[in-house]
Amino acid sequence: MKVIIAGGSGLIGSALATALLEAGHDPVVLSRHGRRAGNPASNGGTAAIRHVTWDPAQPGDWTTELAGAGAVINLGGASIGHWPWTKARKAELVGSRVTATRALVDAIRSLPEADRPKVFLSASGTDLYEGRDATPADETTAPADTFLSQLVLAWEAEAAKATELGLRVVLVRTSPVITPGAASLRIEALPFRLFLGGRLGSGRQWWSWIDGSDIVGIYLWALATERVAGPINATAPDPRQQADFARALGAVLHRPSWFPAPAFMIRLLLGDQATLAIGSRRVWPTAALAAGYAFKRPRLEDSLRAALAPGAPRT
């Protein structure tokens, strides 16, 4: 099956494209980096992942690639981790998600019905649940009233419009990914490597996560499982309070966890973006578990150990 991956040139998209190729699919990556070939298949090295230039603001070859595809996976979106969150940066975060998703759905709408994909898997985020952690948040939990939550809602609203075109739509609400090469994990590990690691703020805030093998696994599973639709929390069934995460990270790196970073300093340094460090997100993968997804690495320590092992292969 031909599978289009929009915004698929990043760490997760590359791993997903490789997994699709190995499973016998024909992945086509839409990216801003132009046409190139890569990841030759093992069957003689003849098959490769194709990359096609993607500009959501302009029609082009990418729109014709959608015709006859069996599925579209939407991973587009500028990183929320880049600092600072100026007004212009926030507008970029919105545009790279909402506008790009709208462009994909509009391009699908322009196709004859017989040529349209059957499935639309769209990335989303668990920031929707910030602060809703008296009990673990599931897919029915009311959204928070924050910038990131409103961003997620607007993003998902555009993706959901594909249901009007007869596509099965899955909204993959993704927690931070633990995988070799992940920039966020590298930043989190650095203070520990320097013997300066510890909890952030009170350490009582909840931190949800997912292993790289499982974010790829959930996309493959959702693609193949016809009964899966709507929002699914792509998060491991092992949310931890941040102090516990810090201890686990220190233990895996054989470093102490004894230098707390006060919340007021984090807010002073990061402003609104401090929510990424001291905001609380206690999320549970209710829909995925109920529909039969089996996590490959459900335990935090195992995921950290696999990601941080010397020479660990990327997901």
pLDDT digits (tens, 9 = 90+) for 209-223: 999 999 999 999 999
Torsion sign (Cα): 100, 98, 182, 175: negative
Are 119 and 162 contacting, i.e. CB atoms less than 8 angstroms apart? no
Q: Which value, in Å, is the radius of gyration of the alpha carbons in the chain?
A: 19
- pLDDT tens-digit profile of 8-44? 888 999 999 999 999 999 999 998 865 554 454 433 4
Mean pLDDT score of the chain, rounded to an integer?
A: 91
Identify the structural domains of the chain with CATH numbers, from first to last.
2-178+209-237+282-297 (3.40.50.720)
Start-to-end Cα distance in the chain: 22
Q: Which residues are paired to 6 by β-bridges?
A: 30, 74
Q: How many CB atoms neighbour CB 132 within 10 A?
A: 20
More confident residue, 173 or 46: 173
The band of 273, judged by pLDDT with boundaries at 50, 70 and 90, is: confident
Quote helix, strand, coil % in the chain, to nearest 5.
Answer: 40, 15, 40
For the entire predicted model, the pTM comes to 0.93
Distance of CA 146 to the CA centre of its chain: 19
What are the start-end ranges of the E strands in 189-286?
206-207, 210-211, 230-234, 240-241
What are the start-end ranges of the E strands in the chain?
2-6, 26-31, 36-38, 49-53, 71-74, 119-125, 168-174, 177-178, 206-207, 210-211, 230-234, 240-241
| pLDDT computed for residue 44 by the predictor | 41
Place of tokens 């069957």: 43
